[in-house]
Amino acid sequence: MGSVFLPHLHTGWHVDQAILSEDDRIVVIRFGRDWDKDCMLMDEILYGIAEKVSNFAAIYLCNIDEVPDFNEMYELYDPMTVMFFFRNKHMMCDFGTGDNNKMNFVIDDKQEMIDIIETIYRGARKGRGLVVSPVQYTRRS
């Protein structure tokens, strides 16, 4: 049900505006399909933390079928991908998976997700483009 309550970005323009419009907060975008199991699980986590992180993060959802503009650019080949942006800059995070560009696995703990977003926010505020996740995740198959 989280996907019902979180704001959706319906065009490439909306995605760009969401990324461009935030000067002081991290923009978290979950790319995927609302009906996908992994997306539903992640959406529940994101919805559950949205209010708690609202001071330093804005959370959006984007359907990769409805808005295919970024699929190739961001290599959105997984069913569910979460990406982070700060002041129109793509923020990278080392999760220990080998892919620092995006999170393509489900986090099932709200506090863990809050910690990740907070770590990215703190690094972004210090001018870093790459931060190390507070928890290291192994490659998931």
CATH number at residue 22: 3.40.30.10
Domain annotation covers residue 31: yes
List beta partners, residue 63.
32
Counting the structural domains of the chain, the total is 1
Eight-state DSSP code of residue 69: G
> Whole domain around residue 57: which residue ranges?
12-90+101-109
Helices 110-125 + 37-50 axis angle, to 10: 70
> Which residues of the chain are under the pLDDT cut of 70?
1-2, 139-141
pLDDT digits (tens, 9 = 90+) for 42-55: 999 999 999 999 99
Domain annotation covers residue 2: no
